[in-house]
Structure 1
């Protein structure tokens, strides 16, 4: 095991560190982090409007009218139905921030380019009225929004570095100088994007959106949100944590676009009164990460019940409060779990087992599938299971997960606990011997 840890520290840790600092991945991750509060607020409103209780629904209808739920869902629809627009701006903004370039110009340019690539729908032939197509400005357009924003921003910054700009005389305000400096690079990028749109109109796909969705997004999403993809997701998080890399936000930031459309489909199904079609969503993992990466709330519970050494019981008591809110650094570094050959075995094993059990339970219909509603990651277990599934079975599943996790952690806890007790007895004996000598 020490050889394995040595390999991970020597090979995997530098690679993971470089990946975490990769500018394009950082830009995508930063964009979603910036937009996450609005997603959560929209999801809270959806929970309010779609809470699965007949008495509650009847009370709200009597108090606020029959259309109350449709009114409450307006902000939710405004967020989710136009998500690609915001993400296109934010990805470019974050990338320009890392390139130390004009953030607003890059953000606006990326948004304009996204709209150029997005064909508007004509709803009145005679009047010539056109509207923005909801199909591609929501979650289905996220791949074009993200990939395009990265490309257009890099090209824009490169053109500016090549001095293809309009130089203003000294004394002109900086804001005006930046505006004129962006003219030629923005024009060239927009001409290129328009050419891409015209080119795709002469293909069977008709739009770049359809091409990306069919050729790239759908296959990648299918693999990434499969059972095997779920196993790889949790394993990649725990194996990076094994060498001390806080990998949750990094991995989630990369995979979140794959989950997003599944969640949107599930939400649409809930609104239509049908069963959500997708098992693997971000909320599926929210039900797994109880206490944080490695489902360490199970570890804390097992330590509180079975540990006998002072050190382990003290770590469990100190980490219990934070673990309830899915913060596990006190346990990971206090026990420790990180770089501990014994504890890293269950730390990586437990999430794989829980994913398997939970996936099978949802597949056979024993547990309700997640609805796609977003929750804060600090929401305590059991409560979070009920909210993300809209059903009591979600809470029961989390309780079962906690029990399974505690049972898997227990044999390894006993080994470490025995080591701690032996060390504590040796220290006590040494202290007693010293006291007798005095």
Structure 2
């Protein structure tokens, strides 16, 4: 065990620290998370409008309430790429040290994203239009690339002081607009050249190129249960050593899972099965109660503690664990570097996730939609919000599985604490 800990500290953790502190990944992660309100808004209306009860669906149809509800996802989740083009550039500008130009950077990125989006011609109407297919899931990776490139180019212009200077007394917003004018002209021109370059290839557009060569293969890779479980294992190993493993893994999964969310929401709205079962919902299952699926540990502690130490501690960690916050138990118990808890901490998420995925594959439970930001909801309620009552019911079974796996390891620690407390009383007497 000492050799393993030494290896992790020397070889693995430095790499993980570099990944989690990478400013590009931070920009993508922060920009994506800033869209939580938009994503939840669209997801809630998708869930409400897709409840599969015939009288309810007839009511929505007759009253046209269903039509109104379907407007919301079409302009939120179905346009995620468009929103990400702005949000990543806006948040990333602050991360890369040009916060004063954050708004301008966001808008320039948005313009360049739209510039790369192909237009569909309609000869009969003598018009062209933007297809929402390119503004949603299909455009997520292009939005990321455009945002990060725009940030770097804007940063270069600001640092080299290649901007228009306005005299004192000019309103601040006007000054910022003119400051970003020269970078905007250059950046837009560069992306215009890129657009033309792709237009003479067989791909026709940058979006189709990126989607075909990068996004589709990555989605197939992360759609594999084995790859997903490996990422979960890596995340929990990092947490065991006191490093925020989710911040290492989620930036990798975030853009792909956001693409899944758009596809899944569209399928559910059309009355079809969820095409991507491995999504944010399954990730939340692996983190039931927090990373390591510690919901079982804190429940065991709350129900079965004999020692004063853990009885008192459970009153703090059990309520927070119900809502997916387990930093108190990870750092306070601690789980971190506690060899006694390493096996259940790594094993529990793999067991409940694998079983959940197997039940989904067999059609016994319905896959979650994959809504981002629902991880703080308690078991059962989380599943309902994810559009799957059966998934929520399974989460209750997952809590029981987690309790069973953690129980013998926790009771060993609890018995040790009881003995220590008894010894302390005898010495005090």
> TM-score per shorter chain, which class?
over 0.9
Pairing partner for 2:401 from 380, 390, 404: 404
* TM-aligned CA deviation for residue 209 of structure 1: 0.6
Residue number in structure 1 paired with 2:45: 45
Residue 394 of structure 1: which of 391, 394, 399 is its match?
391
Q: What residue in structure 1 maps to residue 97 of structure 2?
A: 100
Counterpart for residue 122 of structure 1: 121
1:159 to 157, 160, 165: 157
Task: Map Cα deviations across residues 244-266 of structure 1 (whole Å, 9 max, x no partner).
Answer: 22333453233111112222222
Is the CA contact 2:324–2:378 (under 8 Å) kept in the aligned structure 1?
yes
CA contact (8 A) 2:36 2:373 kept: no
Closer, same or farther: CA 60–216 of 1 in aligned 2, 3 Å: closer
Q: TM-score, normalised by structure 2?
A: 0.93
Q: What's the counterpart of residue 21 of structure 1?
A: 21
Q: Matched residues in 1 for 2:392 and 2:28: separation?
A: 32
Q: Deviations over 1:89-122 (max 9, x none)?
A: 1111112112332111111111111111111222
How far apart are 1:10 and its partner, in Å? 4.5
Q: 1:40 to 1:252 in 2, by over 3 A?
A: same
Native 8 Å contact 2:47 2:387 kept in 1: no
Of the structure 1 ranges 249-258 and 422-431, higher mean CA displacement relative to structure 2 is found in: 249-258
Which stretch shifts more, 412-421 or 12-21? Answer: 12-21
Give the aligned partner of residue 368 of structure 2. 370
Q: 1:148-175 CA distances to partner (integer Å, 9 max, x unpaired)? A: 1101220222133234333445554544
Query: Which range is displaced more, 158-167 or 129-138?
Result: 158-167
| Aligned equivalent of 1:429 | 426
Task: Give the CA deviation at 1:325.
Answer: 1.0
Range moving further from structure 2, 85-94 or 173-182: 173-182
Question: Secondary structure of the equivalent of 2:274?
Answer: coil
Matching residue within 77, 82, 86 for 2:83? 86
- What value does the CA root-mean-square deviation take over the aligned residues? 2.1
Q: Please give the alpha-carbon distance, in whole angstroms, between the structure 2 residues aligned to 1:121 and 1:408.
A: 56
Kept in 2: contact 1:109–1:186 (CA 8 A): yes
Q: Residues 170 and 316 (structure 1 numbering): CA distance in 2 closer, same or farther, change over 3 Å?
A: closer
Q: Secondary structure at the match of 1:130?
A: strand
Deviation at 1:301, TM superposition (A): 2.1
Report SS of the residue matched to 1:81: helix
| Within-5 A mapping of 1:283-362 | 283-362=281-360
* Compared CA separation, residues 118 and 319, structure 1 to 2 (3 A): same
The 1:206–1:241 alpha-carbon spacing in structure 2 relative to 1, beyond 3 Å, is: same
CA contact (8 A) 1:92 1:153 kept: yes
How far apart in 1 are the matches of 2:204 and 2:234? 37
User: What corresponds to 2:112 in structure 1?
Assistant: 113
Aligned to 1:276: 274
User: What 5-or-longer segments of structure 1 have no aligned partner?
Assistant: 433-438
Q: How far apart are residue 349 of structure 1 and its match?
A: 1.3
Q: Which runs of 5+ in 2 are unaligned?
A: none
Rounded to whole Å, the distance in 1 between the matches of 2:242 and 2:165 is 48
Residues 40, 374 of structure 1: 8 Å contact kept: yes
Cα 1:126–1:265 shift into 2, 3 Å: closer
Q: CA deviation at 1:144?
A: 0.3
Aligned residue for 2:376, secondary structure, equals coil
| 1: CA distance, partners of 2:224 / 2:322 | 29
Structure of larger gyration radius: 1
How far apart, CA to CA, are the structure 2 residues paired with 1:214 and 1:375?
A: 28
Mapped to 2, the partners of 1:263 and 1:52 lie a distance apart of: 19
- TM-score normalised by structure 1 residue count: 0.91
Distance in 2 (CA, whole Å) between partners of 1:93 and 1:39 is 18
Structure 1 residues 172 and 373: CA distance shift in structure 2, 3 A: closer
How many equivalent pairs are there?
427
- 2:414 is matched with 417
- For 1:317 and 1:164, locate their aligned partners in 2 and report how far apart those are by CA, in whole Å: 58
- Within-5 A mapping of 1:194-233: 194-233=192-231
C-alpha distance after superposition, 1:296-329 (max 9, x if no partner): 1111222334432222232223211111111112
CA, structure 1 residues 2+163, in 2 after alignment: closer, same or farther (shift >3 Å)? Answer: same
Cα pair distance change 1:267/1:126, threshold 3 Å? closer
Q: Pick which of 10-19 and 257-266 moved more.
A: 10-19
Q: Relative to 1, partners in 2 of residues 1:162 and 1:334: Cα closer, same or farther, differing over 3 Å?
A: closer
On the 8 A contact 1:32/1:253 being kept in 2, the answer is: no
Whole-angstrom CA distance in 2 between matches of 1:4 and 1:154: 40
